[in-house]
Amino acid sequence: WQKAFTFRAKQWCLRLRLHSTAVRILLGIITVLLLALFTLRTKAWCSTRHPDWLEGRRSPPEHYCCPHFNANYELEKSGGGLGKPISGKGVIVILGQNKAHKTYGRDSLAGLKKTVDLLYKNYNARERDDVIILHEGDFDEQSQRQFTAGRPELSFMHLQGENWEVYPESIRNDDRSTWNGNWHDGYRKMIRWYAVRIWPALKERGYKWVCRFDDDSYLLSEIPYNLFGFMEHFSFEYAYRIVIRESDWSDDKFWPFLRTYAKDHLDGKSGWMMDYCHNKDGIDDFTKANCGHFWMFYNNFFIADIDRFLQEDIQHFLRYVDDSGKMFTLRWNDLIVQSAAVQLFMEKSNVFHMTGWSYGHSSGKPDDLTQIGIVQMGRNIPDQRTELNRTVTEVVGWPMHRHWDEVANIHGHLMTLAHPQVGQCCGIETFLC
């Protein structure tokens, strides 16, 4: 009996071991298949590599998905202490409203005050660059004084005439219900200002460089160099802080519009606009199906060389867009127009992604992250998680406890709260990174 039981027990143990081994092998196969599926799923958005990295001039980042990661933090650190440019003056522009925001209903004046106060705290109290607050005529002398007091370099500019009109004239009497979206004329005039009119208007005022902030853009840590001096010193023509994809707000006509322009005026050349596309054999491959949503620069902050935008190649393209009227009728906003111009005509090496300092922007109510918005820590922040919590709660004013599930660490060193969720910065339709 004992021998029989021992024999049976050994058989059971052997079967269990065999079953266990089979289960482990099966689980291993499933894991490999899942990893392969994930790799195939994300390859379109995550495999694009910066040329500098491919050619061995830059160490690979921990996680790379965004194709326009033209960043170099060491360059920003080396730029500490750079002063004002010698090639020409720079100006910071902010479009403000002295009333409730037409689109979001928020107190725009309070947002503008926070933007300006943070700009001076973390940069302009030291640099004293010119600042112009742009407006539609709703800032009288008294309301202007609360911003100009103690800031002699700050002034106001009333946007009117050719800088603030529906264009072309042929669409001015259109039935607005036939236009894409429910955005009002003022919003679409803002688009045209930042896409087309800003360059000649500021050149006439004697400026060489321009930096944009919105009245809901927040400079959240110190910038240790002069922005325009940095651009000049390193020969950059355009700089940005955040990357975004535009989703479906601009409809599907943008891709064929750019393809037609490239064929008719650029001999089919596309600059680096197709870096993130699957197939890149020619401009005919620039389609939504092949490339996904257009990658752009989140231009509520940007720095640009005005003279470069006034050169004939870019001006021809901007006139082409402007004369089409599509910034008004189809809501093709300044973000996609400016991003297309940069990628079509500027060398990628002349475009820079600033990551050294913290930045935030929110479209929506000021007390929470309800629309599209982002807060991203800069590389100059050592304890990013703690600082993100403090900044979002105390400075921006959002309830951080509601948003920890929307936090990601982009490239392993940019702690980011974004809505829609930043995730891994790839594979979803609309996101910031």
pLDDT for 422 equals: 52
Does the pLDDT at position 249 exceed 90?
no
Alpha-carbon span 47 to 45, nearest angstrom: 6
Q: Is residue 82 part of a domain?
A: yes
Average pLDDT, integer, range 44-51: 34
* Long-range interactions of 392-401: CB distance < 8 A, separation 24+: 392/417, 395/118, 395/218, 395/220, 396/218, 396/220, 396/360, 396/362, 397/366, 397/367, 398/362, 398/367, 398/368, 398/369, 399/368
pLDDT for 56 equals: 35
| Predicted TM-score (pTM) of this structure | 0.83
Q: β-pairing, 302-305 with 407-410? A: unpaired
Does the pLDDT at position 38 exceed 70?
no
- Say whether 35 sits in a helix, a strand or coil: helix
Q: What is the pLDDT of residues 257-296, one digit of tens each?
A: 999 999 999 999 999 999 888 899 999 999 988 887 788 8
Lowest mean pLDDT among 97-101, 111-115, 212-216, 312-316: 97-101
pLDDT band at 19 (very low <50, low <70, confident <90, very high): low
Lowest mean pLDDT among 53-57, 109-113, 152-156: 53-57
Give me the amino acid identity at 316: H
Alpha-carbon span 130 to 97, nearest angstrom: 19
Instruction: State the CB neighbour count (10 A cutoff) for residue 429.
Output: 11
Domain boundary among 338, 353, 368: 353
Distances (CA, A) of 31 to 37, 38, 45: 10, 10, 22
Q: Is residue 314 part of a domain?
A: yes
Q: What is the pLDDT of residues 139-148, one digit of tens each?
A: 999 999 999 9
pLDDT for 141 equals: 93
* For helices 254-265 and 312-324, angle between their N-to-C axes, nearest 10 degrees: 140
Inter-residue contact 405 to 367 (CB < 8 Å): no
**106 and 28, same domain (yes or no):** no
Tokens of 391: 């900044």
b vs e for 186-209, b when ≥16 Cβ sit within 10 Å of the residue's Cβ?
eebbbbbbbbbbbbebbbeeebbb
Alpha-carbon span 306 to 304, nearest angstrom: 6
Alpha-carbon span 358 to 219, nearest angstrom: 6
The residue assigned the tokens 């943008």 is 254
Alpha-carbon span 89 to 202, nearest angstrom: 11
**3 and 148, same domain (yes or no):** no
Q: Higher pLDDT residue, 4 or 259?
A: 259
Q: Higher pLDDT residue, 185 or 427?
A: 185
Q: Higher pLDDT residue, 26 or 1?
A: 26
pLDDT for 44 equals: 31
Q: What is the mean pLDDT of the chain?
A: 83
pLDDT band at 426 (very low <50, low <70, confident <90, very high): very low
Q: β-pairing, 373-376 with 351-353? A: unpaired
**27 and 169, same domain (yes or no):** no
Alpha-carbon span 359 to 376, nearest angstrom: 6
**77 and 3, same domain (yes or no):** no
Instruction: Look at the chain and report how many structural domains it folds into.
Output: 2
**171 and 218, same domain (yes or no):** yes
Q: β-pairing, 217-219 with 351-353? A: unpaired
pLDDT for 320 equals: 98
**116 and 226, same domain (yes or no):** yes
Domain that holds residue 216: 73-246+294-353
Does an H or E element contain 92, and which?
strand 89-95
Domain boundary among 353, 374, 391: 353
**96 and 33, same domain (yes or no):** no
pLDDT for 411 equals: 67
Alpha-carbon span 119 to 221, nearest angstrom: 9
pLDDT for 66 equals: 53
pLDDT for 410 equals: 74
Q: Is residue 132 part of a domain?
A: yes
Report the percentage of the chain scoring pLDDT > 70.
Answer: 76
Average pLDDT, integer, range 306-334: 97
Q: What is the pLDDT of residues 182-210, one digit of tens each?
A: 889 999 999 999 999 999 999 999 999 99
Give me the amino acid identity at 158: H
What CATH number did the domain enclosing 174 receive?
3.90.550.10
Alpha-carbon span 237 to 208, nearest angstrom: 11
Rounding to the nearest 10 degrees, give the CA dihedral for residues 91, 273, 431, 331.
70
pLDDT for 15 equals: 53
Tokens of 308: 């470069």
User: Looking at the DSSP assignment, which residues form a beta bridge with residue 214?
Assistant: 95
**6 and 95, same domain (yes or no):** no
Q: Higher pLDDT residue, 355 or 411?
A: 355
Cα(first)–Cα(last) distance of the chain, in Å? 71
Instruction: State the CB neighbour count (10 A cutoff) for residue 386.
Output: 12
Q: Is residue 34 part of a domain?
A: yes
Lowest mean pLDDT among 59-73, 83-97, 98-112: 59-73
Q: What is the pLDDT of residues 368-413, one digit of tens each?
A: 676 678 899 999 898 999 999 999 999 988 888 888 877 877 766 7
Q: Is residue 376 part of a domain?
A: no
Q: Is residue 48 part of a domain?
A: no
Does the pLDDT at position 114 exceed 60?
yes
**319 and 213, same domain (yes or no):** yes
Q: Is residue 330 part of a domain?
A: yes
Does the pLDDT at position 22 exceed 80?
no
Alpha-carbon span 231 to 349, nearest angstrom: 12
pLDDT band at 340 (very low <50, low <70, confident <90, very high): very high
Q: Is residue 60 part of a domain?
A: no
Give me the amino acid identity at 280: K
**19 and 149, same domain (yes or no):** no
Lowest mean pLDDT among 30-39, 348-357, 370-379, 395-404: 30-39
Concatenate the DSSP letters of all residues of 203-249 into one string. HHTTEEEEEEEETTEEE-S---S-HHHHHHHTT-SEEES-EEE-TTT
**195 and 303, same domain (yes or no):** yes
pLDDT for 86 equals: 96
Domain boundary among 318, 337, 353: 353
Distances (CA, A) of 382 to 53, 107, 358, 361, 375: 25, 33, 12, 21, 16
Q: Higher pLDDT residue, 54 or 352?
A: 352
**323 and 240, same domain (yes or no):** yes
Alpha-carbon span 211 to 304, nearest angstrom: 7
